[in-house]
Chain A
Amino acid sequence: MKTLVIYLMADPETPELARAAVEGGADIVEIGFPFSDPLADGPVIRRAGERALARGMRTRQCLDVLARTRTLVPDTPLIPMTYSSLLEAYGWERFAADVEGAGGTSMIVADLPAGEWPEVRRVQLVAPTSTDERIAYAGEQTDGWLYLVALTGTTGARSDLSPELAGLVERARRLVAAPLYAGFGISTPEHARAVAELADGIIVGSRAVQVADEGPAALREYVSSLRAALNTL
């Protein structure tokens, strides 16, 4: 059974959207804590972050959203995804403790290399440009599963599947024991199926954020279509 990870931006509506995603078949939900300068993100998530910040979604409010989401989806891993600047300001270990206290399962810090702040347990990322040495190290350090950035570039839907993914999966299989979930650029059920033929799971962000704008019913239907594609494997 392949794992389906759905990313949503932290907003007041996120708990209901997360529940809809889980009903549609999401196994894990990432919750973006918005940052003013999200270097790893393409236009869709950048704009969603700008909007969330304009609505007052700061660290405290995001933790509240996480806690409310936890009450609606009691059994699904919830993983905040953010950038170092928020942790630096809040206090690294306090941030990790409060995420856990609010029901977070782990976290992802997009601009924090493996090896920095090892006491802050998190899902590590590797990319097609990562060396074997870095992939092995990230695999040792990672918390639960390893995030494969499927392409060289930022988040956002692409029309075609990244040709770089197969090589990255092949190297990571050899070097890492943890499950491998691939994200960046995946938007359609066809992509989902093709990526899941290689990896143990997939992560869908930008397209999910766009569909979430249409409400929980639309998101449930979209996630179901991804789930169905994965279930054909």
Chain B
Amino acid sequence: MRDLYEGTHTRVIAETGAGQHGVATATACALLGLECVVYMGEEDMRRQKPNVERMGLLGAEVRPVDFGTKTLKEATSEAIRDWITNVETTHYLIGSCVGPAPYPELVAELQSVIGRESREQLLAVEGRLPEAVVACVGGGSNAIGIFHGFLDDDSVRLVGVEAAGAASLGSGRAGVLHGARSSILADEDGQIADAHSISAGLDYPGVGPEHAYLRDIGRAEYLGATDEEALAAFGDLARTEGIIPALEPSHALARARELDAELILVCLSGRGDKDLAEVLAQR
């Protein structure tokens, strides 16, 4: 942070899929008076319009990425290209636990506040640990953050839920994307495959390398949920609890409801106001 305040790095860039990370970055930059550029795929700008408008209100420039998949993968590539070009003036605030080292560790550390606080709160309110912790996984930042609170609690099942059309852990192979070796969706030649998900935040063909590691050592398990299952869970939570979840954690809800457990912690990583237009259009 010191060079931010000393004025050598006065510009912050980020990439965003669903727009949540872009809004958060734009908010921090507005507070600190820093120039903010957020890369976002054109397809995601269309389906997450409220967040695009929020970023604009906060003074950020949203830069559309109009090639390739026009989603999070290409937005991340363009942010990295910007960063390597403007590294003398710019900090790259990456939005997930992906990218070149040490980004995955940095993001896991910052996100782990979710896991620490939720563990503390559950112990205070319920007096015991959950049987399972469930979170959606695109790049995997909210999941790695909440998992970090429970990694040493062997009795707690850690369950990540990917979009069925973007299951980098469920059906991927070892590969290198955005500077990290992890499990990715790629063809037999190593060319990155197109992911698909109704939720822009999960529509990514890679995943943070720590998730691949947790899968391989058997500490966490990773399941998939289809667009339809996520939409059903989205509607059910809205009707039964009055909470409109984002489409991303709706995938986690879709699997959590089926688990044979009494006390389950689900990471509700985003609110669904941004998704209303897209959800209504699916009906």
User: Which of A40, A46, A59, A153 meets B190, CB within 8 Å?
Assistant: A59
- B interface, size bucket: 20 to 34
List of A residues within 8 angstroms of B187 by Cβ:
89
Q: Is the CB of A37 within 8 A of B84?
A: no
Q: CA A152 – CA B85 in complex, angstroms?
A: 5
Q: Is the CB of B84 within 8 A of A153?
A: yes
Q: CA A83 – CA B68 in complex, angstroms?
A: 18
B181-204 vs A, CB cutoff 8 Å, 1 = contact: the mask equals 100101111111000000000000
Nearest CB on A from B275, distance (A): 27
Q: CA A153 – CA B84 in complex, angstroms?
A: 5
Nearest CB on A from B120, distance (A): 39
B contact face: mostly helix, strand, loop, or mixed: mixed
User: Which of B85, B188, B191 meets A154, CB within 8 Å?
Assistant: B85
User: Which of A40, A46, A85, A87 meets B177, CB within 8 Å?
Assistant: A85
Q: Is the CB of A86 within 8 A of B189?
A: yes
| B56 at interface, CB cutoff 8 A | no
- A interface, size bucket: 20 to 34
User: Which of A39, A58, A152 meets B189, CB within 8 Å?
Assistant: A58
> Which residues of A154-174 have CB atoms within 8 Å of chain B's CB atoms?
154
Shortest Cβ distance from A153 into B: residue? B85
B237-268 vs A, CB cutoff 8 Å, 1 = contact: the mask equals 00000000000000000000000000000000
Nearest CB on A from B90, distance (A): 10
Q: CA A58 – CA B186 in complex, angstroms?
A: 13
Q: Is the CB of A85 within 8 A of B192?
A: yes
List of B residues within 8 angstroms of A39 by Cβ:
77, 80-81, 84, 178-179
Q: Is the CB of A59 within 8 A of B73?
A: no
Q: CA A43 – CA B47 in complex, angstroms?
A: 26
List of B residues within 8 angstroms of A37 by Cβ:
68, 73, 77, 177-178, 192
List of B residues within 8 angstroms of A50 by Cβ:
67-68
User: Which of A36, A42, A60, A152 meets B191, CB within 8 Å?
Assistant: A36
Q: Residues on A close to B: CB < 8 A?
A: 35-37, 39-40, 42, 46, 50, 53, 58-60, 83-90, 111, 129, 152-154
Shortest Cβ distance from A164 into B: residue? B88
User: Which of B68, B84, B175 meets A89, CB within 8 Å?
Assistant: B175
Q: CA A115 – CA B85 in complex, angstroms?
A: 24
Shortest Cβ distance from A129 into B: residue? B87
Q: CA A39 – CA B67 in complex, angstroms?
A: 14
List of A residues within 8 angstroms of B176 by Cβ:
83-85, 88, 111
| B173 at interface, CB cutoff 8 A | yes
B8-47 vs A, CB cutoff 8 Å, 1 = contact: the mask equals 0000000000000000000000000000000000000000
Q: CA A191 – CA B80 in complex, angstroms?
A: 26
| B174 at interface, CB cutoff 8 A | yes
6 A-B pairs besides A84-B181, A153-B81 with CB distance below 8 A are: A39-B84, A58-B189, A84-B176, A89-B187, A89-B188, A152-B87
Q: Is the CB of A89 within 8 A of B81?
A: no
Q: Is the CB of B178 within 8 A of A85?
A: no
7 residue pairs, one from A and one from B, having the closest CB atoms:
A89-B190, A153-B85, A85-B190, A84-B176, A58-B189, A36-B192, A86-B190
Q: Is the CB of B77 within 8 A of A89?
A: no
Q: Is the CB of B190 within 8 A of A90?
A: yes
Q: Is the CB of B84 within 8 A of A154?
A: yes
List of A residues within 8 angstroms of B73 by Cβ:
37
What are 21 contact pairs spanning A and B, CB under 8 A? A37-B68, A37-B192, A39-B81, A40-B84, A53-B191, A58-B189, A59-B189, A60-B189, A85-B186, A86-B189, A86-B190, A86-B191, A88-B176, A89-B175, A89-B188, A90-B190, A111-B176, A152-B86, A153-B85, A154-B81, A154-B85
